Chain A
Amino acid sequence: MERVLQTLNQMRADGVIEKYAIGGGIAAIYYIEPYQTDDLDIFIPVSAVSEGEAGLVSLEPIYSYLKNLGHQPVREGVLIEDWLVQFIPTFHSVQEEALQNALTISYGQTTTEVFSPEYLAAELLRSGRLKDLARVAALLDSGKVNKDTLHNIIKRHGLTEKWAHFVKRFAPEE
């Protein structure tokens, strides 16, 4: 994992991506108990992607840089060391703000960026798959989420309805 993070830091230093932050399952594991997850979700600014054919988003600049380093595209990501790394452009406002407010953490001797627990919970709530909602519940249960901050994010990014459904389904203690 450390070598993956070093590669990401090198991409940033080389100007391939201006910024990045870990989100998704691995970010959740930073705050809660570990569980099985296969990929590493890396959120990047939309400016890092180019517009491909028919206006579709292309990750070509990123893939091409990594290919030169010997990292091959596999399924929906790129295999770096033994991690499937998925690059996710921040198309949603909550993702964009989560990236801007990411926390700097250490992994071994390497620094990296990870979504704060509040932004991570909000993004998982937006995503809304059952496993995402289960992670939101676990994050809330961990006591690491500032609920005022989370509610503020939810309100500002139009996630109030999703939150109401979540509360109804998972009934977290408010």
Chain B
Amino acid sequence: MEEELDLSNMTVEDLFRAKDERRKRLANLPFEEKIQIVKKLQKVSRTLKDVDRANAETDCANIESQIKT
């Protein structure tokens, strides 16, 4: 369980230190766990691309409809 950060008492240096510590913690994970994270990131990326494509199609349809009217 990760410790909750109290942002009200944090300095910019604390934030950078926390970020650095997180990076080091992730770097020290077993390779298998890192690959699981990569798979999750790939899934998120694919979902975002799908949403983006769907939005673009909707936008195109709206523009076409506005042109017609």
Contacts and interface: CB of A to CB of B under 8 A. Distances in A.
Contact of B27 (A31, A36, A37, A107): A31
A38 interface: yes
Contacts of B39: 82
B38 A29 contact: yes
A32 B31 contact: no
B17 interface: no
Among A26, A29, A82, A107: residue with most chain B CB under 10 A: A29
A13 interface: no
Interface string A21-49: 00000100111111111100000000000
B31 A36 contact: no
Contacts, number: 41
Q: Which of B24, B27, B41 has the most CB of A within 10 A?
A: B27
Contact of A35 (B24, B31, B32, B41): B41
B35 A29 contact: yes
A1 interface: yes
Given A34-B26, A35-B41, 20 more contacts: A1-B32, A1-B35, A26-B38, A29-B35, A29-B38, A30-B31, A31-B27, A33-B24, A33-B26, A33-B27, A33-B34, A34-B29, A34-B41, A36-B38, A36-B41, A36-B42, A37-B38, A38-B45, A108-B32, A142-B27
A34 B34 contact: yes
